[in-house]
Structure 1
Amino acid sequence: MSLESRITELESRLAFQDDTIQALNDELVEQQRRIERLQLQLAHLARRLEEAQGTLGQAQDEAPPPHY
């Protein structure tokens, strides 16, 4: 294998690796966005659950109506 063909092969591999690294980086960025969005949704649901439990707790604390 000549020096020129070896260099051409290395350049080809480097270009392929650069493309692969960029694709992986793009996917990683998108995955991080999804994780952040899911964390926000989870925090929102946790707040709603706490509010619902607070409302339920208040309703249970009330005495039953006099006709019982």
Structure 2
Amino acid sequence: MELDSRVMELESRLAFQDDTIQALNDVLVAQQRSIDRLELQITALIKRQEEMGGQGDGFAEDSPPPHY
């Protein structure tokens, strides 16, 4: 009887661990998708900023706006 209860306890723990691992994997996959999307957005913003590099409004970055 003792052996049966120990085996059942181990099987229960294993099932719980399998569920936990699957839940963690799901979260990890979602986070990686978010990271990939953010990296694409950053790349697009960098490219856009580089394309706009020479298109200023005629004011230096350190000077205050004209309404001051």
TM-score (norm 2): 0.77
Report the CA distance between 1:16 and its aligned residue.
0.3
Deviating beyond 3 angstroms after TM superposition, the runs of 4 or more aligned structure 1 residues are none
Report the CA distance between 1:55 and its aligned residue.
2.1
Count of residues in Structure 1 that have an aligned counterpart in Structure 2: 58
Query: How do residues 1-68 of structure 1 correspond to structure 2 at under 5 angstroms?
Result: 2-56=2-56
What residue ranges of structure 1 are gaps of 5+ in the alignment?
A: 61-68
User: What CA distance in whole angstroms lies between the structure 2 residues aligned with 1:28 and 1:44?
Assistant: 24
User: What CA distance in whole angstroms lies between the structure 2 residues aligned with 1:36 and 1:46?
Assistant: 15
Q: Choose between structure 1 and 2 for higher RCO, CA contacts under 8 A separated by at least 6 residues.
A: 2
Please identify the structure whose Cα radius of gyration is greater. Answer: 1
CA RMSD of aligned residues (A): 1.6
What residue ranges of structure 2 are gaps of 5+ in the alignment?
A: 59-68
SS at match of 1:54: coil
Report the CA distance between 1:54 and its aligned residue.
2.5
Structure that is richer in helix per residue: 1
13-22 vs 1-10, greater mean Cα deviation: 1-10
Q: Which letter does structure 1 place at the counterpart of 2:30?
A: E
TM-score (norm 1): 0.77
Identity %: 64
